[in-house]
Amino acid sequence: MDASFESNPLIDRLPKHLRQFIKPQDYTDYTPINQAVWRYVMRKNVDYLSRVAHNSYLDGLKKTGIEIENIPSMYGMNRILEEIGWAAVAVDGFIPPNAFMEFQAYNVLVIASDIRQLEHIEYTPAPDIIHEGAGHAPIIANPEYAEYLRRFGEIGCKAISSARDYEIYEAIRLLSILKEAEGTPQADIDAIEKKVEDLQNDTSEEPSEMALIRNLHWWTVEYGLIGTVEDPKIYGAGLLSSIGESAWCMTDNVKKLPYDINAAYQSFDITKLQPQLFVTPDFAHLSLVLEEFANKMALRTGGLSGVEKLIKSKALGTVELSTGIQISGVFTNVIEENGKPVYLQTTGKTALSHREKELVGHDTSYHAEGFGGPVGKLKGINLAIEDMSPRDLKAYDIYEGLRVTLEFEGDITVSGEIITGTRNLQGKIILISFKDCTVKHNDTVLFMPEWGIYDMAVGKKVISAFSGPADVNSFDLVNHVPSSKTIKAARSDEREALENLYAAIRNIREGKEAGFTIADVFTSLKNNHPNDWLLSVEIAELLHKQNDDVLLPQVLEYLDNLKIKRPKVAHLIDGGLELIFEKESVN
């Protein structure tokens, strides 16, 4: 990690595979225009959201150290967030969904530290500090919602993905970058938008657990409403951080639906205004729906379908047997009988764990070529191996130093000399090791004596299957290489000159030496930057406070002409002027 990154105890306990996504927040990267964009959005938001947001929002702004006048420093935020048991880290744009959720499980808020361009002041598909800092952070000051967020992360990061999920993530990440970057050819944006649309509309395969739980995340954490369908309030970060959509969502143009588990099957499009939103009666209801969904996940149902989901994912996952032993690897095969798995197989590096802790001697270097083992009871014996007492085990010759042939239901046979057994703290046998061992399914050989020691995981059924390893230290997960990087705004002499004008007005407002008069700035703005509108609004604000009746009318006339020249920003100009002349200014 970069030496300039300021950590704290919550961040210190993050595993290495999450730390790889963290980058330092370089506050000097924020320009005067960036600061003006933040200030405009926050002033508009606080003015409007004080009427339509959940009451936790304004309280949370104060508790989380988020200022209206300045882009927040994450290090300052962390010192305050720590008091409510959370932390924040900076990342580069979208990160993979399972990593995003795992950060939440550790009570760490992920913040994309870049900020949207002035041209995208109302909404950007790219995650930015307005969306993350001003949207997510304030609401987590509500302890009931914060626990929902943490729990969502804990469950969500175990959701099994598909290969298509990662393809969608990469496409959306690239789309968000290209749309936010200056000067991207429209043809490039159209092409990636079509790819995202095609991927999202592809119904050739069932949506994965990750796809479904991402829908729940979108309709609650990002775009959630709370209260009644007739009179909802905003709590979703995507709405809280969008001055356009926060107003749009309150109109009759957006259908309001009661929030329930069916929201998992409602897809979304990040490039468009949402046609419908879901309303939860309270934050407790969010947790009820989350638990209802989790009860349907392979994490809790296990079984053949859970193993098949892992095989289909082609990614690192874990199967837990009824004894608590956990097999982590890339699952490639399952033998089933009557709808039940009777033999599991991984390919490549595999680790064995118990209660999320790797078993000594069973790391990926020992099981480098994969792992396979039977699941179920022995034929003709009602008592499963895991439930046998020491006397029962001896009676069935499951005893160190004896040669035994174990015939499992499903026609799996294990024949070899028992070396030793491993028990858990409750005394259950979880692993039996054999030498000179042959494993077969009917006449098909699954393991041969010359391959070495055969370690047989013990368990009568698969009780859980989930994404990722049981013990995060078992595998080298520090391997994330995004296919795209965020694109910084281009520097130019014209841009630098405009930044200097914004800096001068900011300095005048704060009572600092500016090097320009307000009149000088306005003259230069008119002559050299005729398309800029936000600085003229800030100039009008200063002149109004100074009771200037000479220059102010000229600025207002200039803005009126600019609204005609640039009708797409007319409502933004009006919104800024409304704050100055019709509302109490929020400072």
Q: Are strands 340-354 and 444-447 parallel, antiparallel or unpaired?
A: unpaired
For every residue of 360-402, DSSP letters joined together read TT-STTTTTT-EEEE-SPBTT-SS-GGG--HHHHHHTT-STT-
Alpha helices in 510-550 (DSSP H): 518-528, 534-545
Shared-domain flag, residues 454 and 555: no
SS3 86: coil
Q: How far apart are CA 430 and CA 384, in angstroms?
A: 12
- The verdict on 378 and 505 lying in the same domain is no
Asked whether 570 and 560 are in contact (CB, 8 A), the reply is: no
Contact 241, 235 (CB under 8 A): no
Asked if 416 and 431 touch (Cβ cutoff 8 Å), the reply is no
- Give the residue from 291, 308, 340 where a domain finishes: 291
In a domain, 460, yes or no: yes
**521, 501 Cβ separation under 8 angstroms:** yes
Asked if residue 138 belongs to a domain, the reply is yes
Assess whether 285 and 330 both reside in one domain.
no
What pLDDT score was predicted for residue 489?
A: 62
Contact 502, 33 (CB under 8 A): yes
Name the residue range of residue 436's domain: 321-466
Please tell me whether residue 547 adopts helix, strand or coil conformation. coil
Q: Is the same domain home to 89 and 175?
A: yes
In the prediction, which pLDDT does 482 show?
59
Closest CA to 96 of 488, 486, 481: 481
* Regions in the chain scoring below 50 on pLDDT: 1-4, 584-587
The binding site for Fe cation comprises 131, 136, 222
Q: Is 404 exposed, middle or buried (0-12, 13-18, 19+ CB in 10 A)?
A: middle
Mark whether 26 and 157 lie in a shared domain: yes
Mark whether 410 and 507 lie in a shared domain: no
SS3 130: helix
Known binding-site positions: 131, 136, 222
User: 192: number of CA atoms within 13 Å, CB side?
Assistant: 22
Instruction: Quote the pLDDT of residue 1.
Output: 37
Residues 498 and 458 in one domain: no
The residue among 324, 335, 339 whose CA lies nearest residue 372 is 335
Residues 6+ apart with CB under 8 A from 310: 160, 298, 317, 319, 331, 465, 467
The reply to whether 419 falls in a domain is yes
- 362: tokens are 């069973």
Count structural domains, the chain: 3
Whether residue 351 lies inside any domain: the answer is: yes
Same domain for 368 and 258: no
Taking the C-alpha atoms of residue 141 and residue 501, their distance in angstroms, rounded to an integer, is 37
pTM for the model stands at: 0.86
**pLDDT value of position 270:** 74
Give a yes or no: residue 349 inside a domain. yes
pLDDT at 212: 95
In-domain check, residue 222: yes
Contact of 367 with 350, CB cutoff 8 Å: yes
Q: Is residue 311 part of a domain?
A: no
Residues 66 and 185 in one domain: yes
